[in-house]
Amino acid sequence: MIILILILTLQPIPAQDFSQVNSDEFRTLITDKDGILLDVRTTREFKNGHIPDAGNLNFYALDFRKKLTLLPDDAPIYLYCNTGYRSEKAAEFLAINGYDNVYNLEHGIMEWELKNLPVIVDADASPDKDNKMDPDKYYAILESESPVFIDFYAPWCGPCREMMPMIDSLKVDYHDKVRMYKVNVDASKKLVKELQLGSVPYLVLFENSEIVFSRNGSVTRQELRDVFDISIQNYTK
């Protein structure tokens, strides 16, 4: 009996449920039901484009969790961020703390914008312009006589930031063999819509305008070196 009690005590407590929904479902929910619509990105991200009628709590603020628990627990809560990661963590926290009517926009406002659903940009927004790329330039650089590698990233993306030093060093190593570009998806929304990019990091290598390698998510230095070396060999044959 003592052993059984110990086993039961050591079992992890399962997290309570919340609902993952796509953009169309999310829009129906926030249109048809009363509740709290909450954007959990930074203030700058929020001002540069948010869903109408959304409130804003910064996921990275020290008092973020405390403010979440001040939300009424008897009303539906609809959460979103850029890709769904931060808002999912917020939804998990609310569910664990007894909130049983929580919805997360699974793929974030990136998917929402791809579907041309309504977004409001504040008058005092300060759009990100670093590493902006328009479609015309994008297609022009693909017509290269050497491999072309493009790193689609976002300033708020943790894996993107982690890979940046590694990719920057590879740019030095392969400067005369592979043309490498960074594309900030926040600054390049027209291109993102045209390519239907729904998440970052997205890494892609082209040969003669054709994709020969792509990855949604992180990659190691050695993986990229191997891909680059094979591509360079193809161009020198």
**Whats the size of the chain, residue-wise?**
237
CATH code assigned to 13-114: 3.40.250.10
Q: Where are the domains of the chain?
A: 13-114, 135-236
pTM for the whole structure: 0.80
d(CA 181, CA 7): 54
Of 158 and 137, the structure prediction assigns the larger pLDDT to: 137
Give me the residue label for tokens 């959990």. 40
44-100 pLDDT, tens digit per residue, is 999 999 999 999 999 999 999 999 999 999 999 999 999 999 999 999 999 999 999
Per-residue tokens: 214: 């792509």
Same fold, 13-114 and 135-236: no
**Rg of the chain over all Cα atoms, to the nearest angstrom:** 22
8-36 pLDDT, tens digit per residue, is 444 444 445 899 999 999 999 999 888 99
d(CA 53, CA 55): 7
Give me the residue label for tokens 């406002």. 109
pLDDT interval class at 237 (50, 70, 90): low
d(CA 118, CA 140): 31
Cα distances (angstroms) measured from residue 30 to each of 23, 104, 109, 111, 116: 11, 11, 14, 16, 16
- Supply the residues annotated as catalytic: 157, 160
Residue of 95, 91, 116 whose CA lies nearest to 23: 116
Q: Residue 202: how many CB atoms within 10 A of its CB?
A: 20
47-63 pLDDT, tens digit per residue, is 999 999 999 999 999 99
pLDDT interval class at 5 (50, 70, 90): very low
Q: Domain 135-236 sits in which CATH superfamily?
A: Glutaredoxin (3.40.30.10)
> What order of strands is seen across the sheet that includes strand 36-39?
19-21, 102-105, 77-80, 36-39, 55-56
For residues 122-151, average pLDDT: 94
